[in-house]
Chain A
Amino acid sequence: MPMPGSADLRKAIQRALRREAGSDADAKALAAAALRLYETLAGQLALLIGEAGVRALTARSLHLVQRDFPWLAEARDPGPSERPFAQVGLRLERQEPTVAREAAAATLATLGGLLATLIGDALTMRVLRAAWPSAFPNETQQEARNR
């Protein structure tokens, strides 16, 4: 399955957020859903590239996404004992739901895009699909049929 473009990846993640938090979710619910999506992805990724690798990519993604959402800057440097995405959740909670949804999707999509530039589309898509099956329902079903 080819890696979707940035816009399509954001849409796919928004789909997963809706599934996690519901269509009319407030910012708090969206932040919690984003955190869950991140944690699932981080768990998959840590197996592949280690905790340190996940931390580094997360920090870089947050740096990149600040251009569109400058208020995420404060979330960039979690403390050593803090989960890397914890601060992001707190920032998302303070936004309007629409903005929070867009920012969460953009952040996670940036992480996916960054991963693809480093380890390639094919491997990245395998990780994303395993972490977020609800974001890619058609492809996941197709793959299940192929097995």
Chain B
Amino acid sequence: MTDKVPIRQLPTGVPGLDAVLGGGLPEFSFNLIAGAPGSGKTTLAQQIMFALAEPGRPALYFTVLGEPPVKMLRYQQQFAFFDASKVSDSIRFINVAEEVLKGGLSQILKRIVQEVEAASPSIVVVDSFRTAVRTAERRPAGPFEMEQFVQDLGIHLTGWQATTFLVGEYVTAENVENPIFTVADGLLWLYQSVDRNSVVRKMQVVKCRGQASIPGLHTFRITEGGIQVFPRVIVAAEEMPEPASSGVRPRPRPRVSTGIEPLDEMLGGGIPAGYSVLVAGPSGSGKTVLATEFLAEGTRRGEPGILAVFEKRPREYSEIVAKGKTLGRLVAEHQITVIQSRPLDLSIDETLHELTTAIRRHNARRLVIDSLSGFELALAPTFREDFRESLYRMVAALTGLGVTVMMTAELEDSYVDLRFSPHGTAFLTDAIIMQRYIELQGQLKRIIAVVKVRGSAHKKELRAFEITEDGIVVGEALGGYVGLLTGHPEVTKGAAPAAHGRSPRRRGR
């Protein structure tokens, strides 16, 4: 038995917000929703109110000065959550402009208390609280009147078992001595982050008494449905790769076939399940084809896949043939789901939310992100700055779901250095497959190599491959040459160059 008072957590009706708050909205809490004009404060307050209000325990929405109530009603009802049938029975809008203008803080408090005692509401919103205070402050007031008002309001509304939201236009770090910041149990700060031409909405739970909220800035989007929050993903300890020095021998993982038998051999028996694989190569080298075969092989084995497209349009993908079927057909058969990005203003967490939702809905075991370069471009500029850190969190979260993730990355062919990703992100992935162009005997050839498979032996050889109507056909190892990656290959002395190009060792099952 525990003596602790149980705090009921109310579902806010705002997708993602309950998780950010640490499970929901603490019942009877006294909260401040703060932010600059246009940051979404009223929308957030109303969305929560419409979700929680019911006839027995209505919500009171006190409108003060600021946005005229008639305009607020006009615009807010455009959101799907605005249910006009709840107005008057479950939700009452009460305008207290007169009290603010004529009576000051004591008159506002008196009116709010009077209405609260009459209606016994479950939810109370004062919008905008800041305007009420600012207007009242212009009147002569005794010392600590403001402190007294906030204190009384908090005590009264909590005493009447109301969960309260004060909505206020506050700018970050402004006047931290304001008593409202001290009295409030919960403090939600909304921002509009501007970077070049892009605007990204972010939210922070500055405090949430009694429960552990997720720290950091969480992106959110306002659509016709209202606000949707994308909780910032924190990588759990078990999702982080085991440090090499830990001495813990990782358990062998089952292997996932790429659908290309020789490549599976090069990988030491396929990709370890739940690994992230980077396929790096220049434009046209066959990265998308390889990734599509990986997904198609999954469907052959009853493993649904997700294709997240940040490059070509899905229509172009639908014509790619893998395992004898076009990708379009696999999509039509619901074996592969294509997610197309909303370009240029994405956040990593929104992308991750979309991917994890699709993975769970389709019970997907394989995921392809094509490509990292396109993904980076689709992000709002503010997120490109810490792309590596964000990608690290995303990859860890996705592989933490047990999904095998294949990401493509475009690289310019270089014969003076050996790089595997333009972002310095190669170290984030568990395995790397490299594709390159080389010139051999006067012909342009594609070669493939496995650069790394974490915790596993793999072949180090370079093999030529071709893209045919049947897909990728991998040839023999290019023995007998040195300097293949330098652009100046030479035949090794005394060795006969191996056959390359189309080889008798074809993939195929």
Q: Which residues of A contact B (CB under 8 A)?
A: 46-53, 57, 118-120, 122-123, 126-127, 130
Contact = CB atoms under 8 A, between A and B. Distances in A.
A48 B84 contact: no
Given A126-B84, A126-B87, A130-B88, A49 B69 contact: yes
Contacts of B68: 49-50, 52-53
B70 interface: yes
B77 interface: yes
A118 B72 CA distance: 10
Contact of B95 (A49, A57, A127): A49
B93 interface: yes
B4 interface: no
B77 A123 contact: yes
B301 interface: no
A49 B69 CA distance: 5
Given A49-B69, A53-B68, A120 B95 contact: no
Contacts, number: 57
A118 B92 CA distance: 18
B95 A53 contact: yes
Contact-residue bracket for chain B: 10 to 19
Given A46-B95, A47-B95, A119-B74, A53 B84 contact: no
22 contacts: A46-B95, A48-B69, A48-B70, A48-B73, A48-B95, A49-B69, A50-B63, A50-B97, A50-B98, A51-B95, A51-B97, A52-B97, A53-B68, A53-B95, A118-B70, A118-B74, A119-B77, A120-B74, A120-B77, A123-B84, A123-B87, A126-B85
B94 interface: yes
Interface of B: 63, 68-70, 73-74, 77, 84-85, 87-88, 92-95, 97-98
Nearest to A1: B85
B290 to A, nearest CB: 54
Nearest to B69: A49
A47 B77 contact: no
Given A48-B73, A51-B97, A118-B74, 6 more contacts: A48-B87, A48-B95, A57-B70, A119-B70, A120-B77, A122-B77
Contacts of A47: 92-95
B88 A126 contact: yes
A48 B70 CA distance: 8
Contacts of B74: 118-120
A51 B95 CA distance: 8
Contacts of B95: 46-51, 53
Contact of A122 (B85, B93, B97, B98): B85
Contacts of A130: 88
A111 to B, nearest CB: 13
B337 to A, nearest CB: 37
Given A47-B94, A126-B88, A53 B77 contact: no
Contacts of B73: 48-49, 118-120, 123
Contacts of B87: 48, 123, 126
A51 B70 CA distance: 11
A4 B499 CA distance: 84
Contacts of B69: 48-50, 53
Nearest to A130: B88
Contacts of A46: 95
